[in-house]
Chains A and B, each alone.
Chain A
Amino acid sequence: MGLADELLDDAEPLAQKGISEKRPSCMRRAVSTAYYSIFHLLVEDFVSNWPFLDQRARLARMFDHSKMRNAAFTPVDKNNLTPTEKALDGVRRAFGELQKDRHKADYEVSWIIVETDVKRAVTLARDTFVQWRSIRTEDVARNYLLSMFGANR
C-alpha cells in the first residue's frame, strides 16, 4: 500500500474521532489528510513511471500545489464530454476543492468546521481515488498529469 492509500485510510478514523468527540483538531486533520491523499495519489502515479528509482523522491518534491490546481484541461468538445473527460474533470474539480479545504483546515483558525465539511472532504477524496484509477492510463489523463507537473500544452 502506497502513501496515498494510507493517508486516505487515516482520514476516515480522524474524521470519525473528530465528529464523535466534537474535536475540531481531528476534523481539520481529516480534511487536510484527505487532500494530501489525493496529492500523493497523483504524484505517486507520475513518479512511478520515472525509470530512475533514486530520483523519484526528488521528482516528487518538484510538484507545486498551485500548478497542479491550475493544470490545463481542454476537452475535445466541452459541451459533450467523453466518459473519460467527465471523470477527469471530476478529478480536477475535486483536487481544487480539497486544496481549498486543506488551506482552510490548516490556516484559517476562525473557521468553524462542521460534520458535513469533514464527511464531504473524505467522501470526495475516496470518490476521486476511484475516478482517477479508472482513467489513469488514458492519454487525456496522462497529459493532464504532465500539465500538473508544470508542462505547457
Chain B
Amino acid sequence: MYAPLALSKRAEIDAALQRVEQRLRPDVVRIRYEIGEYWTGEPAIFIRVLLTDDAAKHRLREVANRAVWDLARELDFDALGVFPYHEFRSESEQATLQEPAWV
C-alpha cells in the first residue's frame, strides 16, 4: 500500500471530526477513526460514529446521513487518498461490546 496523504494530515482530520462531532451533538456522542486498508489493500479511513440510544433508535437515517455529508464537506477524502467507510453504533451496543476502537 502506498502511504496516503491522510497519514500526514491527522491534525486536520482530528479538528474536522471534532467540528462535526460538536455540530451533531447531542445525537452524536463521539467520532473516532482509523487509517488503514480495505481488504483489497486500498487505503481507507474507517470512521466510527457513536450515537445516543435515542438517535440510533429513532433518527438513524437522518443523523447518519447528516454525519456522512458533514464529514465529506469538512474533509476531501479523495485528496487525502482514502475512501471513507462510516460505521454507526449506539451507546448501549458499545457498552455491551466494549470495543477499544470506539472509546
Contact B76 A78 (CB under 8 A): yes
Contact A66 B40 (CB under 8 A): yes
If the complex has contacts A100-B38, A103-B39, A112-B97, are A123 and B87 also in contact, measured as CB distance less than 8 A? no
Contact B83 A96 (CB under 8 A): yes
Q: Which residues of A contact B72 (CB under 8 A)?
A: 89, 93
Q: How many contacting A-B pairs (Cβ < 8 A)?
A: 45
Would you call the interface of chain A mostly helix, strand, loop, or mixed? helix
Residues facing A in B76-94 (CB within 8 A) are 76, 78, 83-90, 93
Q: Is B65 an interface residue (CB 8 A)?
A: yes
Contact B60 A119 (CB under 8 A): yes
Contact B93 A127 (CB under 8 A): no
Question: How many angstroms from the CA of A120 to the CA of B60 in the assembled complex?
Answer: 7
Contact B93 A115 (CB under 8 A): yes
Contact B97 A114 (CB under 8 A): yes
The winner among A117, A120, A123, A124 for most chain B CB atoms within 10 A is A120
Report the interface size for chain B: residues with CB under 8 A from the other chain.
Answer: 24
Q: Which residues of A contact B42 (CB under 8 A)?
A: 70
Task: Give A35 Cβ to nearest chain B Cβ, in Å.
Answer: 13
Q: Which residues of B contact A123 (CB under 8 A)?
A: 60-61, 64
Mark A residues whose CB is within 8 Å of B.
66, 69-70, 78, 89, 93, 96-97, 100, 103, 112, 114-117, 119-120, 123-124, 127
Give the 5 A-B CB pairs with smallest separation, nearest first. A114-B93, A123-B61, A116-B56, A100-B85, A116-B88
If the complex has contacts A66-B40, A96-B83, A97-B85, are A116 and B60 also in contact, measured as CB distance less than 8 A? yes
Q: Which residues of B contact A115 (CB under 8 A)?
A: 56, 90, 93
If the complex has contacts A66-B40, A123-B60, A127-B61, are A116 and B89 also in contact, measured as CB distance less than 8 A? yes
Binary interface profile of B, 40-80, with partner A (CB < 8 Å = 1, else 0)? 10100000000100001000110011001000100010100
Q: Which residues of A contact B38 (CB under 8 A)?
A: 100
23 contacting pairs across A/B (C-beta < 8 A): A66-B40, A70-B42, A89-B72, A97-B86, A100-B85, A103-B39, A112-B97, A114-B93, A114-B97, A115-B56, A115-B93, A116-B51, A116-B56, A116-B90, A116-B93, A117-B88, A117-B89, A119-B60, A123-B60, A123-B61, A123-B64, A124-B64, A127-B61
